[in-house]
Structure 1
Amino acid sequence: MVSNKSSYRRSPRWKVSWLFIAIALACLPFADLSINTYDPWAELGRLLAGLLQPSISGIEKPFFALLQTVAFALLGVASGSLVGFILAQLFHLRLVRIVCASLRAVHELFWALIFLQIFGFHPLTGLLALGLPYAATFAKVYAEILEEGDRRAYETIRRNAGLTSAFFYARLPCVWQHFVTYTSYRLECGLRSSAVLGFVGLPTLGYYLSTAFMEGIYAEVWALLILFYLLIATIRYWVRPKLLPFYLLGAPFIIANDSVISFDNIARFFTQDIVPLPLRRDEGFSELWQWFAELFVNEALPGIVNTLLLTQLALILTGIIALLWFPFISKLFFDRFGRLFGHLFLVVMRSTPEYILAFILLILWGPSMLPAVVALALHNGAIIAHLVGRYSEALPLRLDAVTGINRYAFEVVPRTYNQFLAYLFYRWEIIQRETAILGILGISTLGFYIDSAIQDIRLDRAVVLIAITALLNIGIDGLSRMIRSRLRLSIGPQRDTE
């Protein structure tokens, strides 16, 4: 037993863990983790008081906002899954993989900010903001599911039938349930993303949430959040295969508005707005290089540093929270009644988008990196805790196994640690994407400079900064996959961390 513990501590996985902790500790002196509000405890008291008396009486059309949230999510996920299914058949092509990785690396809110400049508040803005990155994600995951599926029946039938017939009659039925499971999960993600789109002006729940927050009407804030939690919690009851066609037919009428697409705006966006200023002025290469160098040094570089710094702090705090929380939903530690409260807490934390959590904490603590770090860690820690807790329940224990803290420290954590690290590194790129977007709230990550450029109508700068953000996310994703491969960390069937 002693030798096993000693071997565990000397394992590469343990060394990598300590390396990442050391990096996070080295980042601490450079992070602004201050609390800047005058009286955060009083603000917290007002927030909790709103929980005791939630009210929607002052909200104009709250249920219409709920319907808008659902409609955008349904159409975005449906269109994304359809396009993703087609792209999955071509995912073996390098160009398709590169395009999908680029689309996936840009957050939905960044896409929304771009399409707002092209289409305004037309429904296409929300649909494309959700549909494009979701299509890229579906393509990747569907391709992986097809690759891992049983091909024996397919190979047998294709000898006597065409490729199309063999695919639809032999290959697709074998993996269909995996497609359905993953698509259902992405619908839940779509609801969260759809709600957040309201923070940039689309008429979803986020629009009314941001208004209620800014006005300090916390009774309305909690009423809207409770509506959203109920929507997520009851998804299995109202999302029925037989009802989905009717939902999809009705959704376009719900999101329809009187906005008109201006083709002049579209033409100007692609031919002028996003063209770097020196090129618009017909200046030379040296001026273009100077323009880019100034943008990179003054905005991109500080944004990259702060994004990476915040990401590493959030990653380590996510891991700590996940390791502390997973026992609360595991039958190895609590009975059914105790696990009920653990599940409820984790559902609330993982159902609340990081953006909304950060927005709440910014109201309480003021503008610094602290609200972003805590928001990212709470949301992602809850997701990983849920997955690790579920994984731990499958562990076989001897009849004379230790109990309490000894079971946690010496029995369960060592046996779940590999899976925990796999989930954590898998979430790394996702945490980075969210870190960048939180800059819109005033935190000086890349999103802060992107939002500032858009506000100043300098879209050429914004597009370059978004491209840098995408490259940074692709780099982190590649590094994460390399580390998982070197350490032989497998996610297994749990693709819902995507």
Structure 2
Amino acid sequence: MAAVQAGILEQDLVNPGGFPQLLQFVRGSWHPELSPEFLHLTLKATLTTLAYAACGTGLSILLGVIAGVVTSEIWWLTVLPHWTLRQPIWLFIRGLLAFPRAIHEMIWGIFFVSIWGLDPLVAIMAIAIPYGAIVAKIFSEILDETPRDALIALLSSGVSPFTAFVYSLIPQAFSNLLSYSLYRFECSVRSATVLGLVGAGGLGYEILLSLQSLRYEQLWTFFYTLVLLNGVIDISSVILRRSINFKVVLILVVLCCWSFWYVSPDVSKFWSPRTQKLLGDIAQASFPLNFQAVPLSELGQLSLQTLGMSILATAGSGIGGIVLSFPAAHNFWLPGGLLNPNPKVTSLTGLQGWTILILTRTVLLFCRAIPAPIWALVVMFVMFPGILPGAIALGLHNLGTLGRLMAEINENLDKPPLEALKSHGTPGLLLFLYGIFPMNLPRFLAYIFYRWEVCMRETVIVGLVGAGGLGVLLTEQLSSFDYPSVGVTLICFVLLTFVVDWISAVVRASIQ
């Protein structure tokens, strides 16, 4: 059904006239622009993207910690245990935070550009608001799952509820929050790149300019820079997560302070009369919502197309991620690995194993380092606009993320049972089919359904570059400043996201 919605059975999918341009694009990868002036521009754009990500992540953590405490069930049970309105207010606040979480940061970026222009504040707040809501959800779950023995002991000894909460649960949950913050920073770098497409500056903006002017040598320089930047951040994040301590906190604080200094956002725009006037004008122009502007049948069809795009992208990236996760894991093809047919360590087997590992990890890194809208623009060299190019773009981007996550699952296998089977001479194929794969499949599926939620949010951003679905309709409405219709489309998209989130959560709970 998703394939039919994507238009696979239609005739006009491929654009033969785009193949020469695609060939020029590929040729540009062999000789990227390396002039000193251009490398200086690339470095400046890279630092800007990094600073946006650091500022947005830092602010999202501050917002997320406050909102996470307020939306945690244990907070209300501790501070106001006997209040009759506790449950409905708690549910209302949790539901309220779901809206900014469902709207992609690129949509927030477009909104803030219309108010603040091209100020760095646009990128920072576009990252901070949705990511703050996401951090709040994760932190509230961390708090609710934290052991409560220390909290109960302090409350029993007469300590005030607020003091007991702060001194018992927060220190226990802090390391998990910090570890998640490092992961969120990796995501922020990619989001900061995407926001460049709406004029926020940084690598994304330079990529867009090079793509529009067909300067593919410059484009590949930016691509290689993105891959290098994401690789360095991934490795640094893994190292820092293994040793969570005060030094890690100090490094992150220094990075955030430097980033705010480097981009120098004009925070006075928060309370400037111009901002208040523009917000008032947009609010006045947005209400009442125009539910007659788009026929219900068309809105339903576009919603089905968007859902089909997310399903195709998730299925493709899930299957590809499973396949590539095994050669990307350290404990499979390297000497002494579970699937290495030759147990003896030789220079040849070592070289083969490391070659497979590095090539696979490089492919996964390249896929996730390039934002989905950029992949969509590249795919549309040779395909006509529609939801199939969008699904391919989302699939490629999420393939990199899923492949990496699944490789980590493979590396964390319970090895003793598998090693015992291997020592008894069990062939590698049987070891894989009856041991490794069944053990990992439930966690693979859990990650796939989690990424389906992410793909659903990201369908709107590939739609903004013409890849089909509700994103195309939203682009038309934004370009014509039809805010009453924009509100209706966003409500439709948010409801669709809630449905996907609910289905995903139910399936993941049943798998676990």
Larger displacement relative to structure 2 (343-352 or 55-64): 55-64
Unaligned runs of 5+ in 2: 74-89, 241-247, 335-352
Q: Distance in 1 between matches of 2:485 and 2:14?
A: 30
Matched residues, percent identical? 26
Q: Distance in 2 between matches of 1:66 and 1:258?
A: 21
Task: Give the alignment's TM-score, normalised by structure 2.
Answer: 0.81
Partner of 1:9: none
1:265-284 superposed matches below 5 A: 266-271=276-281, 275-276=285-286
- Asked if 1 retains the 8 angstrom alpha-carbon contact of 2:379 and 2:393, the reply is yes
Q: Residue 182 of structure 1: which of 180, 183, 187 is its match?
A: 180
Report deviation, 1:186. 0.2
Partner of 2:137: 140
Q: Distance in 2 between matches of 1:266 and 1:103?
A: 20
Q: Residue 75 of structure 1: which of 50, 55, 61 is its match?
A: 55
Partner of 1:256: 264
Secondary structure class of the residue paired with 2:184: helix
Report whether the alignment pairs 1:86 with 2:69: no
Partner of 1:217: 215
Report deviation, 1:325. 1.4
Q: Distance in 1 between matches of 2:425 and 2:377?
A: 44
Larger displacement relative to structure 2 (364-373 or 439-448): 364-373
Task: Give the alignment's TM-score, normalised by structure 1.
Answer: 0.83
1:349-498 superposed matches below 5 A: 349-393=367-411, 394-395=413-414, 396-397=417-418, 398=421, 399-400=423-424, 402-485=426-509, 488-490=510-512
Report deviation, 1:299. 5.3
Residue type of the partner of 2:22? L
Larger displacement relative to structure 2 (46-55 or 325-334): 325-334
The C-alpha deviation readout for 1:45-93, integer Å capped at 9, x for no partner, is: 3222222112153748322211211111111111111111011111131
Q: Distance in 2 between matches of 1:220 and 1:272?
A: 38
Partner of 2:117: 120
Report deviation, 1:274. 5.4
Q: Distance in 1 between matches of 2:163 and 2:197?
A: 46
Partner of 1:53: 31
* Distance change >3 Å, CA 452–CA 267, structure 1 → 2: same
Residue type of the partner of 2:229? L
Residue type of the partner of 1:479? I
Residue type of the partner of 1:300? L
Report deviation, 1:31. 6.7
- Asked if 1 retains the 8 angstrom alpha-carbon contact of 2:6 and 2:388, the reply is no
* Distance change >3 Å, CA 139–CA 46, structure 1 → 2: same
* Distance change >3 Å, CA 133–CA 215, structure 1 → 2: same
Residue type of the partner of 1:181? S
* Distance change >3 Å, CA 401–CA 33, structure 1 → 2: farther
Q: Residue 16 of structure 2: which of 26, 38, 46 is its match?
A: 38
* Distance change >3 Å, CA 329–CA 274, structure 1 → 2: farther
Unaligned runs of 5+ in 1: 1-22, 280-287, 491-498
Secondary structure class of the residue paired with 2:16: coil
Report deviation, 1:411. 3.1
Report deviation, 1:410. 3.7
Q: Distance in 1 between matches of 2:46 and 2:15?
A: 32
What CA RMSD, in Å, does the superposition of the two structures yield over aligned residues?
A: 2.7
- Asked if 1 retains the 8 angstrom alpha-carbon contact of 2:60 and 2:128, the reply is yes
Secondary structure class of the residue paired with 1:457: coil
